[in-house]
Amino acid sequence: FFFFFLNRPKVLPNLLHNISSNSGDYVILVSFDFVKTLQITLPSLLALASSAINFFIVLKVAEDKKKEAFHEPPPVIVFPGSGRNSSTGLRRQKRDWVIPPINVAENSRGPFPQMLVSIRSDQDQDISIRYSITGVGADQPPNEVFSIDPVLGKMFVTKPLDREHRSSYHLRAHAVDMNGNQVENPIDLYIFVIDMNDNRPEFKNQVYNGSVDEGSKPGTYVMHLSAFDADDNTTANGMVRYRILSQTPHSPIPNMFTINSETGDIVTVAPGLDREKVSQYTIIVQATDMEGNLNFGLSNTATAIITVTDINDNPPMLTSRTFSGEVPENRVDVVVANLTVIDADQPHSPNWNAIYRIISGDPTGHFTIRTDPVTNDGMVTVVKPVDFEMNRAFMLTVVVSNQAHLASGIQSSLQSTAGVTISVQDVNEPPYFPTNPKHIRFEEGVPAGTTLETFSASDPDRLQMQQIIRYSKLNDPANWLSINRTNGQIVTTAVLDRESSYVKNNIYEATFLATDNGSPAASGTGTLQIYLIDINDNPPALIPRESQICERMNRNVNGVNITAADADTDPNAGPFVFELPIFPTSIRRNWTISRISGNYARLGLQNQRYLEPGVYEVPITVSDSGNPPLSNRSVIKVKVCPCDRNGDCTTLGAVAAAGLGTGAIISILICIIILLSMVLLFVVWIKRREKERQTKQLLIDPEDDVRDNILKYDEEGGGEEDQDYDLSQLQQPDSLEHIISKPPGVRRVDERPIIPESQYPIRPVVPHPGDIGDFIHEGLRAADNDPTAPPYDSLLVFDYEGSGSTAGSVSSLNSSSTGDQDYDYLNDWGPRFKKLADMYGGGDDD
């Protein structure tokens, strides 16, 4: 047993070290002033001494109240007393006491039950008292954590307590007599569980990810880590402190980062972060409670992975100061040179992606540089054809940069600029027409053989040997032109017509081909557009060609509006002149034309004139405004008919105007009625005849006997045997005994199955000629509808033709190759063998 009295702070570390290394029971007397000097609480002292087996701390409040800590009995809690005034007989009012809380250290090692306090009533000397406790931990879950001796009033804790599970308990103590009557008012007991350092700090994650830009200055925030301690955070048990245990790799120094011990924020402490050298750091962070005391605190670790993010601190550098390439002239979308570049920044990022620009040597924009998205190389591409005769080579100056701007303080490299030499290769270029398309103007109607133009081409290959150009026609829709093969002179081969369908908007277009004699030969095309000037070569045509008019003029309907169509254009078209001819004189006597506008006129009847309904042909002469004008005499058919109030022809009037009188119309109607009656009678007759055929018996007389007709035309040499029919085979058999009696497996395929079937009709044994047709149809229908019949078919009985034939074998009609054979007897066999007799007989040749 060891005894210590603490009054100086310097003694505490040595004392705790001895306690942690030696076993035994300890009693420490601590002065109140010393505790105040350490600025720690009683629970903190208990936590510091958690390694002792049994540890008691007694607070020395005053020198005059010293007591021996190991001989002091447990505190006694007395129910508030009650008394009676003997002089007055009055009852004194009860006074409630303030019961101090009961402190119990968690995770106590016992032994259990462990006594906490004694509860007693001042009436226990007079009567027998029974004590009890209620509340959570006593008679409420969790039950039986605390118990009390009902006679002595000693309260015990029965098991170790866990402050993280429950930090305090509120119980009520009761005192009753042997009859259960309440003797004292219940008192409240508050039990506080004193925290012990029994929980390690726990990180929310085992691995944390953070990032920081390369080249960051010291003090740059990187990331945050946090750990949670389940112990009381108002004491040292729950106060967590952080520190970095290790850093991997150690480049450029082992301590590139530091962590705030209280907040868990990681910041940089040294310069030199370079992603191109170290792209990632792994840091082990330790969290320790007891305010970071490594001797007594509990610890836990987590991993922080810090990624160094890229900045554009490396300018792109071309691998060479000069590049070269070549391109054939007149080619586009061709890669002529490949520029390679090196960039140490992160691939496929804006800091790495290269952008190429041509800053000199290509004023007309023949080239562009496209970036390969995979290799980051620059591809010099032709976007505009180059001409060897104009430029034999190009000297380009190229500069490369990144999509992202360089970081602050980073200068461009001299290797970001290079020269590119591109040579142009000469090829045989096709001839070209200097003016393409070429426009010329000619009047339509020029005769064939007229020379229109010399459409010649030029050869762009001026530096090569003089080449010969030949011309040909490529497209001439109307076949109106021809071109001289040598000099390109174009001559008409037909009359040019502006009104032709091949002319669009007065322009006729033809395409010609010019081909040189280079190696390989090249050709170019030229388009000739001929604008055809209109001449007055088309007379006007009257519109419309048919119309109708009322037999009597009225105010609402004055006549027929007419106009004209002219294929020519102004000034060879309208205005038009409409005139009635002088002859015959009846035209002007019955009709009149009045001008409406330059292109329209009105044809009407003369005033007070009446014409019979009918169709009248009125000739009208139409003249255009050309110089000289062209005229055309057209005939308009005018139907004169009776009109209603609105000026429209009536139906009867329209028919009458077509040239048919009333009598003719009635005759036509009568003929139609007669024709329909005849058709109806014919249909009735056909129906009746069909009905008679259906009701007529199959065999009536020998003339209509089907069998006789069949035998009459059978010329296969049949005899009596063929005419001997057994009609009983065509009838329904009366019994199936002759079929059933046959042994199994011996049956004809034309016999019906041995299954009773009611759909087959039963007929008398004696056949009747009229039953044959009905029997055939009924048997066929029964066979088609009977699923059990196959392969039975009642029609198979008709293939039986007798047991023999008087005709000889066909194979006996062999022919001999020696000698001639006489076929004259074929002439005696009738007209059917006439063709055969003509082929083989001895008749005269026609």
Residues 321 and 421 in one domain: yes
Q: pLDDT tens-digit profile of 444-503?
A: 888 899 999 889 888 877 766 678 889 999 999 999 999 999 999 999 999 998 888 899
DSSP state of 590: H
> Is 416 in the same domain as 341?
yes
Phi and psi at residue 28, to the nearest 5°: -120, 125
Mean pLDDT of the region 346-364: 93
Pull the structure tokens for residue 59.
Answer: 């607070």
Q: Of 425, 447, 480, which marks where a domain is finished?
A: 425
The Cα 325–Cα 420 span in angstroms is 8
Mean pLDDT of 281-304: 94
Same domain, 189 and 212: no
Residue type, 285: V
Calculate the CA dihedral of residues 707, 708, 710, 711 and round it to 10 degrees.
110
Report the CATH number at residue 609: 2.60.40.60
- Interior angle at CA 477, CA 474 and CA 478, nearest 5: 125
**DSSP characters over 679-745:** HHHHHHHHHHHHHHHHHS-S--SGGG-HHHHHHHT--S---HHHH---GGGGS--S--HHHHTSPTT
pLDDT digits (tens, 9 = 90+) for 143-191: 889 999 999 999 999 999 999 899 999 999 999 999 999 998 999 999 9
Residue 91 within any structural domain of the chain: no
Gap between the Cα atoms of 395 and 381, Å rounded: 14
DSSP string, 42-53: HHHHHHHTTTSS
Please report the pLDDT score of residue 466 as a whole number: 73
Q: Please give the pLDDT value at position 58.
A: 37
Structure-model confidence comparison of residues 53 and 129, the more confident one: 129
Over the stretch 360-410, which tens digit does the pLDDT of each residue have?
A: 999 999 999 999 999 999 999 999 999 887 888 999 999 999 999 988 888
Question: Do 110 and 152 lie in a common domain?
Answer: yes
649 secondary structure, DSSP code: B
- Are 390 and 337 part of one and the same domain? yes
> In the chain, how many domains are there?
5
| Contact status, residue 281 vs residue 257, Cβ threshold 8 Å | yes
Specify whether 334 is located in the same domain as 420: yes
- E strands, 121-214, in order: 130-135, 146-148, 154-157, 168-176, 182-194, 202-203, 207-213
Which of 177, 194, 211 is a domain's end point? 194
**pLDDT at position 83, please?**
41
In a domain, 430, yes or no: no
241-272 tens-digit pLDDT: 999 999 999 999 999 999 999 999 999 999 99
Give dist(CA 340, CA 376) in Å, integer.
8
pLDDT in tens, 2-13: 344 444 444 555
Determine, yes or no, domain membership for 714.
no
498-547 pLDDT tens trace: 888 899 999 999 999 999 887 788 888 999 999 998 888 888 888 888 88
Structure tokens at 317: 């550098």
Pairing of strands 299-309, 378-382: unpaired
- Average pLDDT score, the chain: 78
Tokens of 610: 């009446």
pLDDT for res 693? 76
- What would the pLDDT profile of 804-827 be if each residue is shown by its tens digit? 555 555 554 554 444 566 777 777
Count CA atoms closer than 13 A to 180's CA, side-chain side. Answer: 0
Q: Residues 213, 297: one domain?
A: yes
Question: Considering 280, 309, 338, which residue would you say is the last residue of a domain?
Answer: 309
Q: Measured between alpha carbons, how far apart are the two ends of the chain, in Å?
A: 163
Percent of the chain with pLDDT over 70: 72
Indicate the SS3 state at residue 120: strand
Where residue 659 falls (left for φ over 0; alpha for ψ -120 to 50; beta otherwise) is left
**Looking at residue 126, what is its pLDDT?**
86
Range of the structural domain that residue 277 is part of: 202-309
d(CA 163, CA 176): 32
User: In the prediction, which pLDDT does 821 show?
Assistant: 67
* pLDDT of res. 96: 44
pLDDT value, residue 60 = 34
Each residue's pLDDT tens digit, 703-734: 554 444 444 444 555 455 555 555 555 555 55
At residue 99, the pLDDT reads 74
Residues 431-436 have a mean pLDDT of 88
Q: How far is residue 6's CA from residue 615's CA, in Å, rounded to a whole number? A: 148
Tell me how many degrees the CA angle 809-812-817 measures, rounded to the nearest 5. 160
Count of CA atoms in the C-beta half-sphere (13 A) of 589: 6
User: Which of 14-18, 28-32, 329-333, 557-561 has the weakest average pLDDT?
Assistant: 28-32
What's the confidence (pLDDT) of residue 701?
52
Residues ≥6 apart with Cβ < 8 Å to 162 = 106, 107, 193
Q: Are residues 404 and 461 in the same domain?
A: no
Per-range mean pLDDT, top range of 181-185, 304-308, 776-780: 304-308
Q: Kindly state whether residue 716 falls inside one of the protein's structural domains.
A: no
How far is 314 from 193, CA to CA, in rounded Å? 63
CA dihedral 270, 272, 276, 279 (to 10 degrees): 0
- Residue 471 CA to residue 349 CA, distance in Å, equals 58
pLDDT band per the 50, 70, 90 thresholds, residue 557: low
265-268/221-224 β-pairing: antiparallel
CB-CB contact of 522 with 611 (8 Å): no
Rounded Cα–Cα distance for residues 225 and 423 (Å): 63
Average pLDDT (553-580) is 79
Across the strands, what pairs with 380? 337, 369
Give the model's confidence band at 24: pLDDT under 50 very low, under 70 low, under 90 confident, else very high.
Answer: very low
Q: Is the pLDDT of residue 786 over 90?
A: no
Of the candidates 299, 382, 292, the residue with the CA atom closest to the CA atom of residue 334: 382
Q: What share of the chain is helix, strand, coil (3-state, %, to 5)?
A: 15, 30, 50
In a domain, residue 497? The reply is: yes
pLDDT at position 409 is 81
Q: Indicate if 612 and 579 belong to the same structural domain.
A: yes
459 in the same domain as 419: no
The whole-number pLDDT of residue 397 equals 94
Contacts with 666 (C-beta within 8 Å, 6 or more apart), sequence order: none
Q: Is there a contact between 32 and 62 (Cβ–Cβ < 8 Å)? A: no
How many CB atoms within 10 Å of residue 431?
Answer: 24
The whole-number pLDDT of residue 73 equals 61
Pick the residue with more confidence: 75 or 83?
A: 75
What's residue 459's pLDDT? 80
**3-state DSSP call for residue 644?**
coil
691 inside domain:
no
**Cβ contact 428:468 at 8 Å:** no
Determine, yes or no, domain membership for 655: no
68-93 CB burial, b ≥16 within 10 A, e <16: eeeeeeeeebbbeebeeeeeeeeeee
Residue 295 main-chain phi, psi, to 5 deg: -80, -35
Torsion over CA of 704, 708, 709 and 712, rounded to 10 degrees?
-140
Does residue 467 form part of some domain? yes
pLDDT at 28: 53
Q: What CA–CA distance (Å, rounded) separates 643 from 559?
A: 13
List, for residues 677-699, the tens digit of each pLDDT value: 999 999 999 988 888 777 655 44
For residue range 585-644, list pLDDT tens digits in order.
888 888 888 888 888 888 888 776 677 788 888 898 888 888 888 888 888 888 888 887
Q: What residues contact residue 382 under an 8 Å CB cut-off, 6+ apart?
A: 327, 331, 332, 333, 334, 336, 366, 367
What's residue 12's pLDDT? 55
Nearest to 147 by CA among 194, 114, 184: 114
Instruction: Give the chain's count of helices (H) and strands (E).
Output: 11, 44
Q: Which residue has the tokens 């079929």?
A: 739
Same domain, 340 and 268: no
By DSSP bridging, strand 367-371 and strand 378-382 are antiparallel
- The reported pLDDT for the residue numbered 15 is 58
Q: Tell me, yes or no, whether 455 and 504 share the same domain.
A: yes
Residue type for position 819: G
